[in-house]
Amino acid sequence: VRCVQETAIKSGQGLSNETLVRILVNRSKDAWDFLSCIGIDLTAVTQCGGHSISRTHRPKNVPVGVAVVSGLKKYIELQKKSAITIITRCEAKELIINENKTKVSGVIVSHEGKEMQIKASALILTTGGFGHDYSSDSLLRQYAPHLEHLPTTTGKQAVGAGVKMARKIGAELIHMNQVQVHPTGFVDPKDPNARTKFLAPELLRGAGGIMINEAGERFCNELGYRDYVSSQIIKCCRPRGEYPQAISVILLNQKGVLLFGPTLKFYLDKGFLKIFHSLDQVATHFSVSLQGLQKTILDYKNYAKNGSDPYGKTVFPSIFELNDTFYAGQITPVVHYTMGGIKIDDKARVLRMKEAESKNLSEPIIGLFGAGEVTGGVHGKNRLVGNSILECIVYGRIAGENAALFATCLLYTSDAADDTPCVDIGGRRIIKKK
């Protein structure tokens, strides 16, 4: 536990809220137990970029995100259907707050062409980050304009809607200029200039993949922090073909493929990776130096034998031979994650901006909670692989626990609600007692 906590704080480079990091790590076992209890397999363990030990849990046969989302969805549908109502195609527009901007009582949404209010004793924001925000009031342009030209791995829903709604009612924001550039987004040969790119997962490097430039040379510790690896690609690699940004080639052998697991087939089927039966084929296809590539393979084998290389790499999951079968594709740095967002406390309560500099402590906005990428403060300057889903589970559960506790207490202690029309959710309306 101490090792994982120290690594996360080191990765944050002095910006991480150490209390939030400590909670993240200390409750990670509870998060794993919860997911395992509802049938989500996380028994495979890997050491990935920036980690000092093998500690990233994942399924053996499917991507971890797919496993967690589909597993939770199935759990809700089978076990909690009577208690939870899911509304789709419903866009949140605005948070409902009192005149003093101290207490939230619901949200205004657009659903099936109509605007309506959903009243709630407590509200949890889990709307994600702003890595795909190219709108007229773009948060990406406002806080990290130097990255707006890069492609992104985030979906079109990652436009910072929750951050903007919370900011409008006076929520405090933190670390908004801290945007993570992931070193490996696949350059699709069929559409190299696509703005949205598939992530080349960290596990490709965790399973032993190496990265080379046009000279056939390695240029970094592939298991280093994401910001370091990204900066080395930009520094040591050049654009290729139609794509205007720096491109590297990622290379695995058969042992690495076995360590990665059967989900590699997805990337082969998509055309992001290709199979090559010789180094000569690799060099010809990607226009890299064969002589440089051969030297790189031999040097890498010697570094692995000696236990370290000139870039500080000490973990060598798979060793290459000149006559291996190779799996290779082109990758480029991409906007991947926004470390900044809404400021929360250790109970996942959203904090509001201080009204005066004399105030030393931020106060929570009553009834408003947040979890996941919509919030900031946990990861600081750089997020480690594995800590995003962990944050979602740990702080999602903390937010849920405290929102439920708050709403239950409110049910019996607060003033009666006003008579503003509201939507009946789940077939019932909670009437607050005096």
379 catalytic per annotation: no
Taking residue 108's Cβ as centre, other Cβ atoms within 10 Å add up to 15
Q: Would you list the DSSP string of 339-365?
A: --EEEB-TT-EEEEPPSSTT--S-EEE
Residue 161 CA to its chain's centroid (Å):
17
Is residue 324 classed exposed, middle or buried when 0-12, 13-18 and 19+ CB atoms within 10 A define those classes? buried
Whole-angstrom CA distances from 71 to 36, 46, 124, 262, 266 are: 10, 21, 21, 19, 20
Cβ neighbours, 10 Å, residue 207: 22
Query: Helix 18-26 to helix 2-12 angle, to the nearest 10 degrees?
Result: 140
DSSP bridge partners of 300: none
Active-site hit among 51, 57, 175, 205: 205
The single-letter DSSP state of residue 168 is H
Q: For residue 394, what is the DSSP state?
A: H
**Residue 207: CA count within 13 A, CB half-sphere:** 22
- b/e sequence 387-400, b meaning 16+ C-beta within 10 Å: bbbbbbbbbbbbbb
* 89 classed as catalytic: no
Residues in the chain, overall count: 434
Name the catalytic one among 57, 58, 132, 182.
Answer: 182
The C-alpha atoms of residue 113 and residue 110 are separated, in whole angstroms, by 6
Tally of CB atoms within 10 A around 107: 20
Catalytic positions are: 182, 205
